Amino acid sequence: MQKGTYRVKTGFAEMFKGGVIMDVTTPEQAQIAEEAGAVAVMALERVPADIRAQGGVARMADPKRIKEIMNAVSIPVMAKCRIGHIAEAKILEALGVDFIDESEVLTPADPFHHIDKWQFKVPFVCGCRDLGEACRRLAEGAAMLRTKGEAGTGNVVEAVRHMRLLNDQIRRLKEMSRAELVTYAKEIGAPVEILEMIQELGRLPVVNFAAGGIATPADAALMRMLGADGVFVGSGIFKSANPEKRARAIVLACTYYDDPELLAKVSEDLGEAMPGIEIEKIPEHALMQYR
């Protein structure tokens, strides 16, 4: 019997496909998410929109809060640790969290490195903006990827940018000769053997979700149309006027993204979406995606 193998980690991520993973800050919100049909919840103290608004150092959530949420639902519970914060990750693993998001939404702890995720039994998901970043995270042992987007903005444009870039780079990679691939690996800072694997598969070797700015059923459908395996919704649900209804609508939109009539139906009368922010209005140092 072998626990914590890469197959067990990436296989678990495969089970999320077509699903929605929702940020929650209380056990009650977690139950609303479960009832709406979320495939997992992300246990947090503050959603990204509040982290952005309040500023200061954003850290791993209080273990007590995470345990309360784990006890409240039967679906998997994820939690975030700071980039490079090995100790926070060890704590989350000890708590029995099902997946760790090494996340740019929290304040980075290590200016040089991400966590060596091979040293853990618990699987990790990491954000990426392009193929180079995706390959580096895979080299460190990430079992699942997501776009970074720009969290807490309710603005999907950055998630679209990151997904489009990735798609375009994989499309070009497929046509490359061995010599071109080696040069390309150097250009984008990607390990050659991981690029070779992606070239052979014709896609990323792990599940890739969209995240960062998804606020409506149409946003979720758009990301699925662009090839995302599923979506994370952060502030978009519990910062909106009617979380239950919106959560259910986003779950349906994520599965039936190719059915415009159904999308129209579920998008109707959802109440106010979360307030959005234009990316150009955010000072560069406050953009989370460059972390």
Partner 1 sequence: MKIGVLAVQGAAREHILCLSRLGVEAVPVLRPADLAGLSGLILPGGESTAQWRLLSRAGLLGPLQEALKEGLPAFGTCAGLILLAREITNWPERYFGVLDVVVERNATGRQVDSFEAEVKVEGLGEVPAVFIRAPAIRAVGPKVEVLGRYDGEPVLVRQSSILGATFHPELTEDLRLHEFFLNLCGKG
Q: How far apart are CA 36 and CA 261, in angstroms?
A: 20
Across-strand partners of 128?
147
Catalytic residue among 17, 64, 80, 245: 80
Query: What part of residues 56-85 is at the interface with partner 1 (CB under 8 A)?
Result: 74-76
DSSP code at position 53:
H
| Tokens representing residue 62 in the block | 């209080």
DSSP string, 26-44: SHHHHHHHHHHT-SEEEE-
CB nearer to partner 1: give 1 or 57. 1
Interface mask toward partner 1 for 4-43; x: CB under 8 A: xx-xx--xx-xxxxxx--------------xxxxxxx---
The single residue among 53, 87, 96, 171 that binds partner 1, judged by CB under 8 A, is 96
CB nearer to partner 1: give 19 or 234. 19
Query: What part of residues 117-156 is at the interface with partner 1 (CB under 8 A)?
Result: 121-123
Kindly state whether residue 170 participates in binding partner 1, applying the rule CB under 8 A. no
Strand order in the sheet with 40-43: 207-209, 144-147, 124-128, 99-103, 77-82, 40-43, 20-24, 231-233
Shortest reach from residue 269's CB to partner 1, in Å: 16
Helix axes 63-72 and 27-36, enclosed angle (nearest 10): 40
Kindly state whether residue 248 participates in binding partner 1, applying the rule CB under 8 A. yes
Return all residues near 38 (Cβ < 8 A) that are at least 6 apart.
19, 20, 21, 22, 75, 247, 251
Return all residues near 232 (Cβ < 8 A) that are at least 6 apart.
20, 21, 22, 23, 42, 146, 209, 210, 211, 212, 214
Query: What part of residues 182-211 is at the interface with partner 1 (CB under 8 A)?
Result: none
* Total interface residues for partner 1 by CB under 8 A: 39
Is 186 assigned a catalytic role?
A: no
Kindly state whether residue 1 participates in binding partner 1, applying the rule CB under 8 A. yes
| Tokens representing residue 175 in the block | 């046509």
Shortest reach from residue 282's CB to partner 1, in Å: 33
Across-strand partners of 21?
40, 232
Shortest reach from residue 230's CB to partner 1, in Å: 8
CB nearer to partner 1: give 51 or 252. 252
Interface mask toward partner 1 for 249-268; x: CB under 8 A: --xx--xx-----x------
Contact in structure between 170 and 204 (CB atoms under 8 Å): yes
Contact in structure between 281 and 157 (CB atoms under 8 Å): no
Q: Which residues are catalytic?
A: 80
**Interface with partner 1 by CB under 8 A: which residues?**
1-5, 7-8, 11-12, 14-19, 34-40, 74-76, 93, 96-99, 121-123, 248, 251-252, 255-256, 262
